[in-house]
Structures are given as structure tokens and as C-alpha cells.
């Protein structure tokens, strides 16, 4: 699986500037509502916040994979967000986070969701790949980086 299988070009954003997890989630929820207008921004936000209450999705080294299951969503929606500077995120290593790969998954596709999370976590182990994401100069370049990564 390539990241472009779940992240459309208009869902890759770099040089954004948020100072809190909640504000980031609000931004993502608004973007998700644009992708799936039948579901409200509030429903997306609640799904992300609900999952985060179970434990931080910050996996360490400045990386997080926030995700949520959405009843009524037809297809998985993914986002790649690179914040200008790391924000507090309660990650497992207590380091702030600047790279977010966000997944919003249809409620009925939970098993596929677990495999997708594992695949993404594996890709994020590549330090060079993460460095390229952090230094992307614009949204198009960010998307090109994930378009050219190996399957």
C-alpha cells in the first residue's frame, strides 16, 4: 500500500501552524467534511477526540497517527499534515509532534483499519522519508514525496 492510496493531493498540507491538538483536529475535521459532506465536521472531530481519550496516537520521534472510526463514511479518508513547529501531543516518548498522518475509517472496515495503521507506522520508521516530509516547501512537493515512496 502506498500513502497515496488513502491520501489525496488536496489532503496533504505542509507549513500549517497550530499550537494545540484540538485546533489541529478541528482543521482536519473541516477538511474531512469537505471530502465527505454527508458527515459533519463535528462528527469527525468527536471521532478523533474520542480515540485520543483512549490514549495518545503520538508514536514518538515527532510522529502521530490520529485516527477515528466514522459511522456512515463510505471510504477511508487520509490526511498528511506537517506543522511548522512541533506541538504537545502526549506522545509515548513525551516529545512534541510535527508530522501527522490522520485516518478516518468507515465503522464497518475496522480490520482493514488495523492493517493500514501498521503499514503507516512501518513507513514512518524511515528517518530519511520523515526528513523529506519535514522539509517539503509546499503542499505539492509534500504530495510528490509520498507519491514517489516505495510500496
Question: Cα–Cα distance between 106 and 74 in angstroms, integer?
Answer: 6
* Strands 7-16, 77-87: pairing kind: parallel
Name the one residue in this structure whose C-alpha cell is 512537493. Answer: 141
Catalytic residue among 33, 67, 113, 140: 67
Query: Do residues 50 and 68 touch, judged by C-beta distance below 8 A?
Result: yes
Question: Cα–Cα distance between 145 and 139 in angstroms, integer?
Answer: 10
Question: Cα–Cα distance between 66 and 48 in angstroms, integer?
Answer: 7
Give the CA dihedral 24, 19, 59, 27, nearest 10 degrees. 10
67 is catalytic: yes
Nearest to 123 by CA among 101, 138, 107: 101
Residues annotated as catalytic (active site), given as ranges: 67
Amino acid at each position: 500500500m502506498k500513502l497515496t492510496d488513502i491520501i489525496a493531493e488536496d489532503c496533504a498540507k505542509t507549513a500549517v501552524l497550530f499550537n494545540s491538538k484540538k485546533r489541529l483536529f478541528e482543521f482536519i475535521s473541516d477538511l474531512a467534511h469537505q471530502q465527505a459532506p454527508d458527515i459533519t465536521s463535528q462528527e469527525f472531530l468527536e471521532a478523533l477526540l474520542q480515540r485520543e481519550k483512549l490514549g495518545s496516537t503520538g508514536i514518538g520521534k515527532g510522529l502521530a497517527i490520529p485516527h477515528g472510526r466514522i459511522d456512515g463514511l463510505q471510504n477511508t479518508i487520509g490526511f498528511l499534515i506537517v506543522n511548522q513547529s512541533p506541538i504537545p501531543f502526549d506522545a509515548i516518548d513525551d516529545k512534541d509532534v510535527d508530522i501527522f498522518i490522520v485516518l478516518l475509517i468507515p465503522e464497518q472496515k475496522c480490520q482493514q483499519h488495523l492493517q493500514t495503521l501498521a503499514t503507516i507506522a512501518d513507513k514512518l520508521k524511515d528517518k530519511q522519508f520523515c526528513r523529506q516530509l519535514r522539509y517539503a516547501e509546499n503542499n505539492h512537493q509534500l504530495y510528490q514525496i509520498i507519491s514517489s515512496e516505495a510500496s
